[in-house]
């Protein structure tokens, strides 16, 4: 059964439009929905965020806009630190056009966003103020909370880019450039030395920075991205295992099966079968009759 998180448990008073829930660290958490919307911003560590049955490998700088009808969970977490900014649109009182200030929420809209290093610093400062003000129930504090939430929304729009659309990356720092390149390298080999040469970056320093911020090596991060994509394809598309392997950067389907099984404990075929109900025996018997 999917958990339902209620407003009463997370907002100190019924009049408050915004609340901040710090997760330091964020533990594994089962599938759940909310009676509110939220923005998730990841500060450190890594883990799996399963949003509406799609797994996303998350680490520092990842941002998710969660609707009240979305179902999500956390798994395989490793020193994962994040903030949840909870909000109820029906409680806002400033009369702003929030549909224009927050990213579109359609099925074809990006679900995972990334925030540049500069954007993370700006967002953290605003969230610190928002966390203090959102605890108060006097009218001025409620208005200030909404104004700070507006400031945060604008920072995320100015300094954010869709994780699966790296060509939209704004001007950023070296870690942002590398993250963007890795997102686009799931189906092809990635040469870190060549990337550093092309962007005039120090390879050793970049490796150290990446591990410090994400808790992973560059190679491990890319491999987990490929496996997340493989899980999604196996669950949603009826294509051959070899095609899934190729689309996720594996030239050898046998090697893909070995890596996938080592990571999940299941072969790719067994993983796929978990999401497809077996045909009832009565249907099987009927189909066998001449």
pLDDT tens track, the chain, 290 positions? 778 999 999 998 999 999 999 999 999 999 999 999 999 999 999 999 999 989 999 999 999 999 988 999 999 899 999 999 999 999 998 888 888 888 876 666 677 899 988 899 999 999 999 999 999 999 999 999 999 999 999 999 988 887 666 545 554 577 888 888 888 889 888 999 999 998 888 999 899 989 988 889 999 999 999 999 999 999 888 889 999 999 999 999 999 999 999 998 999 999 898 877 554 554 434 434 43
Phi and psi of 165, rounded to 5°? -135, 65
The fold of 174-273 is: Arc Repressor Mutant, subunit A (1.10.10)
Residue 26 CB burial class (10 angstroms; 0-12, 13-18, ≥19): buried
At residue 169, the pLDDT reads 54
In CATH, 3-168 is 2.60.120.280: yes
Beta-bridged to residue 34, according to DSSP, are 5
At residue 107, the pLDDT reads 63
At residue 200, the pLDDT reads 85
Q: Report CA-CA distances (Å) from 242 to 35, 83, 246, 266.
A: 42, 39, 6, 16
Residue with tokens 């099966």: 257
At residue 283, the pLDDT reads 44
At residue 100, the pLDDT reads 81
Q: Rounded CA gap, 12 and 137, in Å? A: 8
Q: Rounded CA gap, 82 and 74, in Å? A: 12
| Domain-wise residue ranges, the chain | 3-168, 174-273
At residue 106, the pLDDT reads 64
At residue 140, the pLDDT reads 94
């Amino acid at each position: 059964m999917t958990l339902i998180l209620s407003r009463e448990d997370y907002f100190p008073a019924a009049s408050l439009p915004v609340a901040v829930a710090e997760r330091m660290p964020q533990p594994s958490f089962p599938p759940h929905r909310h009676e509110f919307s939220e923005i998730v911003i990841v500060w450190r560590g890594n883990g799996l965020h399963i949003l509406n049955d799609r797994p996303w490998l998350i680490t520092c700088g990842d941002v998710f806009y969660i609707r009240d009808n979305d179902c999500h969970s956390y798994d395989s977490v490793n020193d994962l630190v994040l903030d949840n900014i909870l909000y109820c649109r029906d409680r806002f009182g400033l009369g702003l056009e929030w549909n224009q200030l927050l990213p579109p929420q359609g099925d074809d809209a990006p679900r995972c966003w990334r925030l540049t290093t500069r954007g993370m610093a700006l967002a953290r400062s605003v969230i610190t103020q928002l966390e203090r003000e959102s605890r108060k129930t006097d009218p001025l504090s409620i208005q200030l909370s909404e104004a700070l939430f507006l400031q945060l929304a604008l920072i995320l729009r100015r300094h954010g880019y869709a994780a699966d659309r790296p060509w939209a990356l704004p001007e950023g720092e070296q870690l942002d450039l590398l993250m963007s390149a890795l997102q686009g390298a799931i189906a092809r080999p990635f040469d870190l030395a060549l990337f550093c040469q092309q962007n005039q970056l120090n390879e050793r320093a970049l490796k150290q920075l990446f591990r410090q911020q994400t808790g992973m090596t560059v190679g491990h991060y890319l491999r987990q991205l490929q496996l997340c994509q493989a899980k999604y394809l196996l669950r949603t598309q009826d294509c051959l295992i070899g095609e899934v392997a190729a689309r996720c950067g594996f030239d050898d389907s046998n090697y893909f099966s070995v890596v996938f099984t080592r990571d999940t404990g299941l072969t790719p075929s067994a993983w796929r079968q978990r999401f497809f109900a077996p045909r009832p025996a009565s249907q099987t018997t009927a189909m066998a009759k001449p």
